[in-house]
Amino acid sequence: MPLSRRQREILGEMGIPVWVRRDAPPVSLEPAANPPIERPAVEVEVRDVAGLGWEDLRARVAACMACAELASQRTQTVFGVGDPAADWLFIGEAPGAEEDRRGEPFVGPAGQLLDNMLAALALQRGRNVHIANILKCRPPGNRDPKPEEAEACRGFLDRQITLIRPRVIVALGRVAAQSLLGSNEPLGQLRVREHAYRGTPLVVTYHPAYLLRSPGEKAKVWSDLLRARSLVAGA
Ligand code: URA
């Protein structure tokens, strides 16, 4: 079957040569009915971080321009913070305004609550604890990360996890949990099940920002954190 004009255009954009029969009817030079394909604002090469150590990885993140909108609007990237060999890795969603300004995750009001939760476990930011986010850049207006942004950033996070080798990952909130688990299930369903991310036990719990709005859910978070603690102890 002869290729349609649109099919020929798509193949051309992919760099695949298209041979046209000499006796084929002439191709109209009228503008195509369909709009041109939009290129994703994500480059693949930046994710090639296998083998990088902390310093090089941090530099690669700081220079990342993979997501045009995020890169153009950020004050700085927010790499992650903490013990480079922590047993506990907490993963949130993305930097907010305060994190973007200071270059450290969870330093706003939600971060203060996270610090209190750590203290209740006799833990401390930076001591056997590492904190990171699904995204290293602040989404404008604190919108949810787009799936393609999370995908573009994933190599950085995965490399951090490989370097840290935590005993447990705690996913803070729906966005982190769904993104790490590749799931659309509601957080309430994810948090009551056992999970692993790339071989590391993963506990899902509510985001501290949600707890600020719904303090009645703190008991559930506490039981999730106790479960995480028993995973650390038993690992
Ligand atoms: N919320 C997050 O998910 N991450 C931060 O770093 C701050 C707020």
CA 142 / ligand 1 centre spacing (Å): 10
For the Cβ of 92 lying below 6 angstroms from any atom of ligand 1, the answer is yes
Dist CA 8 CA 10 (whole Å): 6
Residue 133 CA, closest ligand 1 atom number: 4
For the Cβ of 145 lying below 6 angstroms from any atom of ligand 1, the answer is no
Q: What is the mean pLDDT of residues 176-183?
A: 98
The pLDDT value given to residue 48: 87
Residue 93 CA, closest ligand 1 atom number: 3
Statement: residue 42 has pLDDT above 60: no
> What's the gap between Cα 114 and its chain centre?
19
For the Cβ of 93 lying below 6 angstroms from any atom of ligand 1, the answer is yes
Q: Which range among 42-51, 156-165, 193-202, 222-231 shows the weakest confidence by mean pLDDT?
A: 42-51
User: What SS3 state is found at 139?
Assistant: coil
Share of the chain above pLDDT 90, in %: 79
3-state helix, strand, coil in the chain (%, to 5): 45, 10, 45
User: For the chain, which residues make up each domain, given as ranges?
Assistant: 54-234
Q: What is the mean pLDDT of residues 176-194?
A: 98
> What's the gap between Cα 218 and its chain centre?
25
The pLDDT value given to residue 46: 61
Pairing of strands 168-172, 195-197: unpaired
Q: How far is CA 154 from CA 35, 111, 149, 160, 226, in A?
A: 30, 22, 8, 10, 27
The hierarchical CATH code for the domain 54-234 is: 3.40.470.10
Tokens 């369903």 belong to residue: 189
Closest CA to 224 of 185, 171, 167, 148: 171
CA 45 / ligand 1 centre spacing (Å): 26
For the Cβ of 114 lying below 6 angstroms from any atom of ligand 1, the answer is no
CA 126 / ligand 1 centre spacing (Å): 16
